[in-house]
Amino acid sequence: MVNFKQFWTKKTLVGLGLGQFLSLLITSTGFSSSELAKRGINAPTSQSFLNYVLLSVVYGSVMLYRRQALKAKWYYYVILGLVDVEANYLVVKAYQYTSITSVMLLDCWSIPSVMLLTYIFLKTKYRYRKIAGVIVCVAGLVMVVFSDVHAGDRSGGSNPRKGDLLVIAGATLYAISNVSEEFLVKNADRVELMSFLGLFGAIISAIQISIVERNELKSIHWTASAAFPFFGFSLAMFLFYSFVPVLLKMSGSTMLNLSLLTSDMWAVVIRIFAYHEKVDWMYFLAFVAVAVGLIIYSGGDKDDDQSLADVADQGTERSKHFDEEAGFDNLNRGNTVGSSKMGDTSRHDCMTSSGGRETIENTSIGKDMQGKKS
């Protein structure tokens, strides 16, 4: 019999709440972009540029104050910045060629992509309960798509094939970005991640703006009604990027992508109460389905302790390789095998990962979660 108390752990509740906060931020960026589009402003890279600048200035200042050595090599962040900038650009660009229904459906490609990448590179193992939660969430989003079709809100687009390929490519890059951020935030430092993502994201965005959006920016007539959604978008994105690493460290990139599925439903709520629009009844059923799927996926973290033991040894070896590659030698202590102190925010996780290695090698898996600090 299912013990429902296991679902309502503090970690579960915080993860669900933070996920919905991030989903609301994404919803607000969508409405900001919509307002800009109504005013004829089509500059997606320029909108993201200010966000990267804010990340670089705020978190870069913290890094300068700390005066700490880099915990990962700088070119990791160059690659991450490029992937992140292009992911944002491709998905926004796709709206010019295909229908919003296709974008909503194909954007779900990021979820199986994240699960595959975390399984291959982070050695994350998903139990049947978590897979069931993903299926329920995706089913809820499919209901939203069918609701759009039922309501006649779909348009074909000028070049559906090109648009669909752009969405798939963008969703894949989102998955790569999320998994890379999860790895770095768990093995390096959140402030370092945000500051360098902002720095290189701003540089790459500036280069791209000078090439593809220079004329668009010149044609914009800046008024208060145009500036407010533009800067509002940047502020919402800054908050989103700031809290994403927290959820990634707590619940992983799959949970992040599942949580963002509800952004479409929050948009419906805003349309109902702010714009007094009528929506199809399937939206409400979809919202319930996604909410239930999130609870199924994130609940019962205590039961996953056993599965953590199965991958502790692999996680230790990954940490050791990353430490040697990124120059973590000054953070290693004594004879610790493959474990590092990755900043205050990741100390406990690293100790847990490394502490169970010898126990796994010499005792049964059922006892290894006690761990020991080698």
CB 267, CB 204: distance < 8 Å: no
- 220-275 tens-digit pLDDT: 888 888 888 888 989 999 999 999 999 988 888 888 888 887 777 787 777 777 77
Q: Read off the pLDDT band of 215 (50, 70, 90).
A: confident
pLDDT at 370: 41
Reduced to 3 states (helix: H, G, I; strand: E, B; else coil), residue 275 is coil
pLDDT at 41: 79
Q: Read off the pLDDT band of 363 (50, 70, 90).
A: very low
List CB contacts of 265: < 8 A, sequence separation 6 or more. Answer: 144, 283, 286, 287, 290
pLDDT at 3: 53
Cα gap 25→118, rounded to integer Å: 25
Q: Does residue 112 have a pLDDT over 80? A: yes
User: DSSP state, 306?
Assistant: H
Q: Does residue 351 have a pLDDT over 50? A: no
Q: Between these two residues, 37 and 126, which has the higher pLDDT value?
A: 126
Amino acid residing at 226: A
What average pLDDT does this structure show over 168-180? 91
pLDDT at 300: 53
Cα gap 137→19, rounded to integer Å: 14
The rounded mean pLDDT for the chain is 74
- 307-347 tens-digit pLDDT: 333 433 444 444 444 444 444 444 444 444 343 333 343 33
Q: Does residue 355 have a pLDDT over 70? A: no
Q: Does residue 201 have a pLDDT over 90? A: yes
pLDDT at 342: 37
CA distances from 198 to 66, 235, 247 (A): 18, 13, 19
Q: Between these two residues, 99 and 359, which has the higher pLDDT value?
A: 99
User: DSSP state, 70?
Assistant: P
pLDDT at 16: 84
pLDDT at 309: 37
Beta-carbon count within 10 A of 128 CB: 7
Cα gap 298→292, rounded to integer Å: 10
In percent, how much of the chain has pLDDT > 70? 70
- Find which of 1-5, 34-38, 229-233 is predicted with most confidence, using mean pLDDT: 229-233
Q: Does residue 361 have a pLDDT over 70? A: no
What average pLDDT does this structure show over 153-165? 68
Reduced to 3 states (helix: H, G, I; strand: E, B; else coil), residue 55 is helix
pLDDT at 62: 94
Q: Does residue 353 have a pLDDT over 90? A: no
